[in-house]
Amino acid sequence: MNKYKFKKIAIPSLILLALIVFGFGINKYNKNQSYNNLITQANKYMNSGEYDKAIAIFEQSLDYKNDPNIKRSMKLAENLKTVKSIYDSGLNLMNNKDYEGAIQQFQKIAKEYDKSYSNAQKKIQECKKSLISKNIDLANNAIKNSKYNEATEYINSILKMDSNNIEAQKLKENIDTLEKEQQNNQTVQVAQTTSSNTSTSEEVKQYVISNIFQNDTSMIANLHVGKPWVIDGVTYYGITYARNTPSQSVKLLCLDYTNKKTLSYDEMDEILAPLGKSSWDLQD
């Protein structure tokens, strides 16, 4: 009788235990399946560049398993999200023709992000190509307007990006030639000032005595007007003078006669610099 009762109790218990074990196994299987599905989906989002979605699903997967690898994947997704933001910013600047700003953005992307780094390097080369083309046009326009210093700045910018750029090197040689021609023309212009200016020298002398020295007679005997220098349509004179006393040293007055104003030595030196001359050459 007792054996019969034991059997009646034992069999249902075993069945219940089996059901519990089976149910636990099914639950564990379902959890693993859900976890794997989440990881698969998160990786798809990673590959498509949808990093916010990938991060959200990685976070869900941690409810199933506290896996350090998932935390590392989340960190990578955060970093790639930042890289994508930098890259998109560079593209936006590039589309707005701010090539220098775009290059600065693309250069922020580190080599460790292989694909993004490779794409950024390609964009940098595209930006440099566009920037070089733009500066070539600006340099040519500046040369046409005889703005050689400005043109040189554009050319130097090109050579900084591409030191072997043939077109920029030719433009630089052209500027050197044009500047030498300009200097020669200015020198010829000064040399070709005719003797008809002699009478003008007397006019200049009277102008200086009346308007600058206020008819100071002590200056008149020692006042000398140098030859006229015509530069870019403006006539300059060097006026040497000294008071009528033994101890008085000779001084130089630089005069822009066209505009009727005196100039400092520094101002006159800057004007004469392209000719390789200085203020004191005006007294000749």
Q: Each residue of 34-74: pLDDT tens digit?
A: 888 888 898 899 888 899 999 999 888 888 888 888 889 88
Crossing angle for the helix pair 148-161 and 166-191, to the nearest 10 degrees: 160
Round to whole Å and give the CA distance between 128 and 112.
23
* Residue at a domain's end among 149, 173, 190: 190
pLDDT confidence band for 221 (50 / 70 / 90): low
Q: Are residues 139 and 186 in the same domain?
A: yes
Note down the domain range covering 219.
197-283
- Number of structural domains in the chain: 2
Q: Are residues 262 and 202 in the same domain?
A: yes
* Residue at a domain's end among 190, 213, 229: 190
Residue 251, φ and ψ in degrees, nearest 5: -120, 160
Q: Are residues 104 and 151 in the same domain?
A: yes
* Domain membership flag for residue 155: yes
* Domain membership flag for residue 85: no
- If you search the block for the tokens 């074990």, which residue do you land on? 21
* Domain membership flag for residue 205: yes
Over 70: is that where the pLDDT of 3 sits? no
| CA count, 13 A, side-chain hemisphere, 149 | 1
Q: What is the pLDDT of residues 100-128, one digit of tens each?
A: 999 999 999 999 888 899 999 999 999 99
Q: Are residues 249 and 273 in the same domain?
A: yes
Over 60: is that where the pLDDT of 165 sits? yes
